[in-house]
Amino acid sequence: MSWTTPDLYDELRDEARVLAAGFLDYGGREVFSGPVRTARCLEDNSRVKELLATPGDGAVLVVDGAGSLTCALLGDMIAAGAVEQGWAGVVIAGAVRDVEILRTLDLGVRALGSIPRPSTRQGRGEVDVPVTVGGVRIEPGDVLYADATGLLVTAPR
C-alpha cells in the first residue's frame, strides 16, 4: 500500500471528502481502493446483486441503503460472486449478514451493522446515480480509499 487515508487527506485537504465515522469492517480485505460504482436501494438488494455479478475491474460499490439496519443488503453468496468478478470492495450505508464468511473473503466490506435477516428482492433501486453516504455526496467514477483509519473519497485523479 502506497497510501493511507490520513496521508491522502493531508495531501488533498479540500479535495478529499471524508465519510463520517461509524462504518464497521466486515471483509477479509482491510485496505482497499478503487473507482466508485453506486447503488441506491432501501431494504431491497436486487440492484446490489445484479451489479456485483458483473465484472468489477477493481471497483468499489457504494450503496446508499438509507442507513437501514432492518435487513442485510449483502451476504456471503453475493460477496463471493463479487470476489470472482474482481470487485475491490463494498461500502454499505446499511447492514450485512454472514459476517463469519465475509471475513474470509478477499473483499473489502464496510457497513453500519449486521443482521441475520436478508432483504426482499422486488427489483427496486437505482445504479450509477449520485448518492450521499456517511454525510458525503459520492458520484459514480469518484475514487474511494479505505483503511483502518477510515473512508475517503476523491474525484478521479
Residue 135 lies inside a defined structural domain of this protein? no
Residue 99 lies inside a defined structural domain of this protein? yes
Per-residue pLDDT tens, the chain, 157 aa: give them.
Answer: 699 999 999 999 999 999 999 999 999 999 999 999 999 999 999 999 999 999 999 999 999 999 999 999 999 999 999 999 999 999 999 999 999 999 999 999 999 999 999 998 888 999 999 999 999 999 999 999 999 999 999 999 8
Residue 137 lies inside a defined structural domain of this protein? no
Residue 136 lies inside a defined structural domain of this protein? no
How would you write 34-100 as a 3-class SS string? Answer: EEEEEEECCCCCHHHHHHHCCCCCCCEEEEECCCCCCCEEECHHHHHHHHHCCCCEEEEEEEECCHH
Residue 138 lies inside a defined structural domain of this protein? no
Residue 49 lies inside a defined structural domain of this protein? yes
pTM of the model: 0.97
Retrieve residue 111's grid coordinates.
Answer: 457497513
Q: Please report, for the domain that includes residue 116, its CATH number.
A: 3.50.30.40
What is the total count of domains within the chain? 1
Q: What residue numbers bound the domain in which 114 lies?
A: 5-129+144-154
Q: Which of 30, 36, 38 is nearest to 106 (CA)?
A: 30
